[in-house]
Each structure stands twice: as structure tokens, then as C-alpha cells.
Structure 1
Amino acid sequence: MRLQGISKEFKGVEASSLKIGDITIWNYGYKEEILEMYYSKSKKTINFKIKSLSNGSIHTRQLRATTLVVKSQ
């Protein structure tokens, strides 16, 4: 995967393979730490409680379980 604002390629992983404590990387190097995760009843989507590593804010993000995301090594 190639993220905007970052000139290097990353390997994407499915959102369903993420665990609490993992760090995800988004466009322009924005990083988030996963604090909690909850599956929907159908297990098709996952709600993540995340903490921004740039400003410390906590919010939620909903993704399909099959969505590819970049996980920090």
C-alpha cells in the first residue's frame, strides 16, 4: 500500500487481524494506538477506540473487517 505524503510502500493487513495495543499508520504519517475493539453482531465491521499519538485525543473509528490498513512494525 502507498500512503499519501509518505514515499515508501507498506504491507497492508486486514483490520480483523489488529489487536489492542497495535499502532496504525494513516496518510501523512498520522499514527493511532488501538485501545479497545468491538465487533458488530454480524462480525462484518469492527469499532475501534483509538488514541491519536500526535495530540493524545481519544475517539472511535469503524472499519469493515476486510479493510486493509497499515500496521506499524
Structure 2
Amino acid sequence: MSDLGTTLAGIAFWTILLAAYVALFSATIVSIVRAPLDKRSRTRWILLVTLAPGIGIIMWFAKGRPAVRSSRTSLR
């Protein structure tokens, strides 16, 4: 009976891990599509993330994203 518990825990672990990966992959693709990039750069980033997902995702969030400009309004 303890084998069943171990099996179910393993299935739950891998399911959660897979769901987290799919969410991160999807967020990366959405981030690339929404970024102000030219068509060629966008296509290259999407290909990199699709063909080498681990490295591509890390590279996009580390170096690929354009700087986010914050528009602050001051109250006077």
C-alpha cells in the first residue's frame, strides 16, 4: 500500500513541475511577442526559446528583454 502513496506523490510532483514549466514557457513567449522588437529579432528569440527552451528562457529574461521604462507621475 505504501507503494501506491509513493507513486501518487511522484505523479503529483512531476505534474506540478510540468505545469510550472509550461507556465514559464508561455510567459516567455508572451513577453517576447509584446516586446518592442523588430520582426527578425522577435522571430529569432521565439526560435531560440522553442528549440533550446532552458537556455532560451534564461537568456531572454537575463539579457533579451528591452529595458522597461516606468512613467512616474509626481503629485504636486
TM-score class, shorter-chain normalisation, is under 0.3
Q: TM-score, normalised by structure 2?
A: 0.20
Greater Rg by CA: 2
- Name the structure where helix makes up a greater proportion of residues: 2
TM-score in terms of structure 1 length = 0.21
